[in-house]
Chains A and B, each alone.
Chain A
Amino acid sequence: MTAKQQFLRGLRFGVPIGLGYLSVSFSFGIMAVSIGFDWWQAVLVSMLNLTSAGQLAGIQIMVHPAQYAAMLISQLTINLRYSFMSISLSQKTEKKFRGIYRWLLGFFMTDEIFAVAVSQKEVTRALFAGLTVAPYFGWTFGTLLGALLGNILPNIVMNALCLAIYGMFVAIVAPDAKKDLKLLTVVGISLILSGLFYYLPLLSRHVSAGLAVSICAVLAAAAGALFFPVRETEGAA
C-alpha cells in the first residue's frame, strides 16, 4: 500500500472516533463555559490537550488561583496511561516511524486512537497521521459548538448534557470491569476511596478535588498491582 492509501485508510478508521468525540467535547465546552471560561479558552484547551479526563480535571483546577503543583500532579496521574499506550504502540511501528514523526504524532495519543492503531499489524506513520485527523477536528469543533450553544440551549438540556462526559468514562470502565473480577475489585477500591475523600470532612477540607482523584487512583492501582498482578498481556485500556 502506498503512503497515500495508508493515510486514507487511517482517515476512514478515524471517522467514528471523531463523531464520538464531537458529542463528548460538546459536553466539555458546555461545562467549561458554565464554570466561567470564554468560548475561545475552552477551544484552546481542547486544541492543545486533546484529552477528556485531563481537561475536565484541569479546568476545575484552573478556576482557583495558584494551584500549579496540583495541576501538574493531576495531569501527570490522569494522563499516565498515555505513557503506557505510547510504549505499547512504539513496539508496533514501522521502521520509518521514528524521530521527529514520533515527537509530532505522539501528541495525538488518545485512548481511542491508540485502541485502533494497536489493532493494526504494523503501524505506519501515514496511517497514524490519517487516523488523527477526524478525532482532532471532532474534538475541537465539538468544544466550539458546546461553548457557543451552551448559552442558547435551555438550562435543563445543558444540565443533562453535562453528564455525557461521565457517561463516556462509564462506557470505558464498566464493560471491562464486568469481564474481570480483579479489575472490578480495583475499580471498587478507587470508588470507595473517592467517596471517602468527598464525604469525610477531615479529608475533603484539606485535599483539593483534583489532588484527591490522583491519590485515589494511585492507591487503588498500586493495591491492584500488588495483590492482582497482571501477567504478560497487552494490558492497555
Chain B
Amino acid sequence: MELKQFFTYLLVMAGSTYLIRAIPFALMKKKIQNTFVRSFLHYIPYTVLTAMTFPAALYATNNLWAAAAGLLVAVLVAVRGKSLTVVAACACVSVLIVELLLMQLGQ
C-alpha cells in the first residue's frame, strides 16, 4: 500500500472517530428526549457488532467449520455471562482444536 493512501485513510478514520466521540461530549448539555432517536442509539451498537460478526467471522480462519465451531462456542460461553477475555479465549481454543482434529482426519 502506498504511504499516501495509508495516511489519507488514517486521517479520515481517526478524525471521524475522534470527532464523533468528542463533539457530543464537549457540547452536550441537555438530554435527548426524542424516543425514536434514543431507541435507535440504544440498538445501534448491537446491530453493528452483529453485522460485523456474521458472516465475516466464518471466513476469518482457514476453515469454515473451525470458525463456525469457534463462533458457536463463543455464543454458548457468552450467554453464561463470562467476561470478554474468557469468551474470546474459548473461541480461539475451539478453532484450534477443530483445525487440529481436521488435520488428523485428513491424514
Q: Which residues of A contact B (CB under 8 A)?
A: 19-20, 23-24, 27, 31, 36-37, 41, 44-45, 48-51, 53-58, 61-63, 65, 68, 71-72, 75-84, 86-87, 89-91, 98-99, 102-103, 105-107, 109, 111-112, 155-157, 159-178, 183, 186-187, 189-191, 193-195, 198-199, 209, 212-213, 216-218, 220-222, 224-226, 228-231, 233, 235-237
Shortest C-beta distance, B70 to chain A (Å), equals 5
Q: Do A102 and B60 have beta carbons less than 8 Å apart?
A: no
Which B residue sits closest to A61, measured CB to CB? B9
Q: Do A49 and B43 have beta carbons less than 8 Å apart?
A: no
The B contact surface, by secondary structure, is helix
Q: Which of B12, B53, B89, B103 contacts A166 (CB 8 A)?
A: B53
Shortest C-beta distance, B79 to chain A (Å), equals 5
Given contacts A53-B48, A169-B49, A213-B52, 4 further A-B contacts (CB under 8 A): A72-B16, A87-B24, A174-B75, A194-B50
Which A residue sits closest to B18, measured CB to CB? A107
Interface size of B by CB at 8 A reads 76
Q: Which of B9, B54, B75 contacts A62 (CB 8 A)?
A: B9
Bound-complex Cα distance A58 to B14 (A): 10
Q: Do A102 and B92 have beta carbons less than 8 Å apart?
A: no
Which A residue sits closest to B13, measured CB to CB? A58
Which of B20, B49, B71, B91 has the most chain A CB within a 10 Å cutoff? Answer: B49
Q: Do B46 and A187 have beta carbons less than 8 Å apart?
A: yes
The B60-107 residues at the A interface (CB cut-off 8 A) are 60-62, 66-67, 70-71, 74-75, 77-79, 81-93, 95-96, 99-100, 103
